[in-house]
A and B are shown apart, each in its own frame.
Chain A
């Protein structure tokens, strides 16, 4: 039961990624000017104090992980 429960979110995640991939354009590294814009990063515009306020005022937590897709350099 535990094993089934723990694998379900991973399956849903993979399914959603697969579905979203079907509608995606393949973007080359030199086409990533917009993707590399600073405002595309999840941390832009929110400092440590804001995050701390949310952690105190809201019973929920999580969602801090991120994996931005930047300009493709390096």
Chain B
């Protein structure tokens, strides 16, 4: 709570600065000398919009408008409008598939420094994973709808962005709001950012009204960071996040098999559904997770623009109060094949240990000896994921307008090894997304 109070005080201070009319004076409205303006290696486009705070409502962690929106080039009009549609498909070796169409739009005034944006997406999920088979349940099909609205206002070196979002499935309803403040210093060579978000999730069961059965999960998120221009092609950044979750987020469908202590020791990694069913005790309680979770992440970013390519590296270190520690490395290398075509390879590595209460096979001596904390969520166990793939981007606009119509597509594959789980030893998955972005 101390951390939350400090962050709130900082936030309030910056907000007061922002509202002070004296701060509206642009500190670095320098214009380039005419002789210098033509010597830059690349033309300087209008200021790309800053993405607003993270959209936490759809659990995606995605922040801001779609990438292509950030390539907006002012055409002389005071207001730019862009629309984006994406369709993505996911498949994995545990019989889960997801189809995700989405639409998004942004209206912005680069000269006045404001922008509003919105996004709506649908997830059509179909699953028949071993976890579902083990409970003798039919295949799982679900539609999730999520949307968010955001704004950004940055008339000078101080800026504010906000975002509200919601996500709905028949058994899960999420609402969130966030605000992010940015301040540019040192002629915009140093950018400070801080943000606060609040979300509230209602967790229920399909077919049962929330009024009959539901659990509440509330979360506060605080972000603090800085981005530094090192030279004319290199930017580095360091960002810290704290997310404080309060409430029971146990899955009301997830039953945990228990075993006598002697049998538990013999359950192998990747034990089949039949093996688990034959070995487990009669008692099969629902999952029970701790009622609060404090998550902390520290993320370093590097973006380096070379003559005709860009290297982007992101490294995230993570720790939480459940004992989970993780390292995530993400690398993209964009290559300009021509003025209209960009390709990029992409790699991602995620390594994590398990939460403190993780066990492959929970031991119990009877119904009076059920472990207080128990889970069957493989993503809370030790795992490692290696991912690789890439994308290609085509600028399809008329001559000289490389940002008017942009078509891009990505394909990535992932291999995940679960070091200490039943049912599944490894998972192969693939994600493909195609995006069309149009300026009006």
Contacts and interface: CB of A to CB of B under 8 A. Distances in A.
Interface of A: 2-3, 6-7, 9-10, 13, 16-17, 20-21, 23-74
Contacts of B380: 59
B132 interface: no
- Chain A, interface SS category: loop
B53 A28 contact: no
B297 A61 contact: yes
Given A50-B410, A66-B193, A61 B61 contact: yes
Interface residues of B, number: 123
A65 B238 contact: no
Contacts of A31: 36, 40, 232
B66 A48 contact: yes
Contacts of A62: 61, 241, 243, 295-297, 299, 316, 318
B297 A73 contact: no
A52 B62 contact: yes
A38 B190 CA distance: 19
B370 interface: no
B42 A60 contact: no
B298 A9 contact: yes
Contact of A71 (B36, B46, B56, B58): B46
7 shortest interchain CB distances as A-B pairs:
A62-B297, A30-B32, A49-B88, A64-B54, A62-B241, A65-B223, A63-B299
A13 to B, nearest CB: 6
Nearest to A20: B228
Contact of A60 (B2, B54, B66, B350): B350
Given A43-B66, A46-B67, A65-B224, 19 more contacts: A24-B231, A30-B31, A30-B40, A32-B44, A32-B232, A33-B40, A41-B303, A48-B102, A48-B119, A49-B102, A55-B59, A57-B350, A59-B352, A59-B383, A65-B299, A68-B235, A69-B184, A73-B47, A74-B111
A39 B342 contact: yes
Contacts of A24: 189, 228-231
A58 B60 CA distance: 11
B170 interface: no
A29 B28 contact: yes
B216 interface: no
A36 B188 CA distance: 12
B253 to A, nearest CB: 16
Contacts of B342: 39
A27 B193 CA distance: 20
Contact of A43 (B42, B64, B224): B64
Nearest to B389: A50
Contacts of B394: none
14 contacts: A37-B305, A38-B67, A39-B305, A40-B312, A45-B346, A45-B393, A47-B410, A48-B66, A51-B62, A59-B326, A60-B352, A64-B61, A64-B223, A68-B51
